[in-house]
Chains A and B, each alone.
Chain A
Amino acid sequence: MAEIKILKNIMDENLSQAAKNRQWFRSRKILVLNLIASPGAGKTTFLEQTIKGLTPNFKLAAIEGDITGDHDAKRIEALGVPVVQINTEGGCHLDAHMIDSVLSSLDLSGLNFLFIENVGNLVCPAEFDLGEDLKVVVLSTPEGHDKPAKYPLIFSEAQAVIINKIDLLQAVDFDLIIAERDIRRLNPNVPIFRLSCKTGEGLDKWLQWLETQGTDNG
């Protein structure tokens, strides 16, 4: 019997593909967002509002990740934005190879922003680097203010946190102070945007911030 020293990161394969994706995006000055949220948090509506707010000043594209179906992709396509659907067929997250495999089917020339809508899940998507610039977590008020404390990894990894559906604050038991305190404990300097995709409240601040990120990138 012999012992072989290996010291290899199990995630190496994903990480090296993510690094290739990142280099590829950076060389083309495309700012890439990885949108992560629970099912029903309002990711797709948030993406629609973001796309509407950025067009026509920027050129955009989207990758929609879902277990099955193309419901979300159709909604994004209706806004005139090139979109490609990835179905994970049961998988709970997108990985870097999946992103690489669809890049050739998107027109990315002159693109400013690429939005990747991950599978609805706060756990596994946190583990898989896609080569994005910004991980953006969308938390909605009906989910409860305990989510940052219960799913710490994704909140500690995020470059921006959206608290969506603030129009429902009167109707649900969501304490903004507790939610934001826990987010800050995990990630002290992360920008937090309170907004409602339904009423439009707070969207302007998010869009301003995002445009600044895009301008810095280019």
Chain B
Amino acid sequence: MHELAITQSLFKIVLEQAQKAGATKVTRINLKIGRLTGYVPEAVEMNFNLLASGTMAEGAGLKIEWAPVKVHCRDCQKESERQDLGLGCAHCGSLNVRIAGGREMYIESMEVDNG
């Protein structure tokens, strides 16, 4: 259900941008998704196929580039990448960190045919 809301937003942006560019068909959508978002690719794809059916985005592939979880340390001011939460700063071990990456949910670009 969460995915449906995301997919509706995604689909709306894709159609708007494709129309603006005068495209006749959308073939691929390139997404950047953070590891912290809880984004489930299969669920978004299923919803997207339903929404896009009969539109110029029908059959478009969704390509995901996953963005890692990153934390910025407020003590040593360094940034580190983490595989999971709760590890603190990889440099000094401090827990005084803020999440600096992993919540992205962007459409980076899309590939279209111009008729």
Chain A residues with CB under 8 Å of chain B are: 1-14, 90-93, 95, 123-124, 126-128, 149, 152-153, 156, 182, 184-186, 188
Residues of chain B lying within 8 A (CB to CB) of residue A188: 95-97
Residues of chain A lying within 8 A (CB to CB) of residue B112: 1-4
- A9 pairs with B86, CB closer than 8 A: no
- B9 pairs with A12, CB closer than 8 A: yes
- B85 pairs with A2, CB closer than 8 A: no
- B1 pairs with A124, CB closer than 8 A: yes
Q: Is B21 an interface residue (CB 8 A)?
A: yes
- A13 pairs with B9, CB closer than 8 A: yes
Q: Which 3 A-B pairs have the closest CB atoms?
A: A124-B2, A152-B85, A92-B1
A13 CA to B4 CA in the complex, in Å? 14
Interface residues of B in 57-94 (CB under 8 A from A): 85-88
A14 CA to B5 CA in the complex, in Å? 10
- A127 pairs with B106, CB closer than 8 A: no
- A3 pairs with B1, CB closer than 8 A: no
- B86 pairs with A14, CB closer than 8 A: no
- B105 pairs with A2, CB closer than 8 A: no
Q: Is B56 an interface residue (CB 8 A)?
A: no
Residue of B nearest to A9 (CB): B106
Q: Which of A2, A8, A156 contacts B13 (CB 8 A)?
A: A8
A86–chain B nearest beta-carbon distance, Å: 14
Residue of A nearest to B31 (CB): A10
**Known contacts A6-B108, A11-B105, A124-B1; A1 and B27 CB within 8 A of each other:** yes
A11 CA to B3 CA in the complex, in Å? 11
- Given A6-B17, A6-B109, 8 extra CB contacts under 8 A: A2-B112, A2-B113, A4-B21, A8-B106, A10-B6, A11-B6, A124-B38, A149-B85
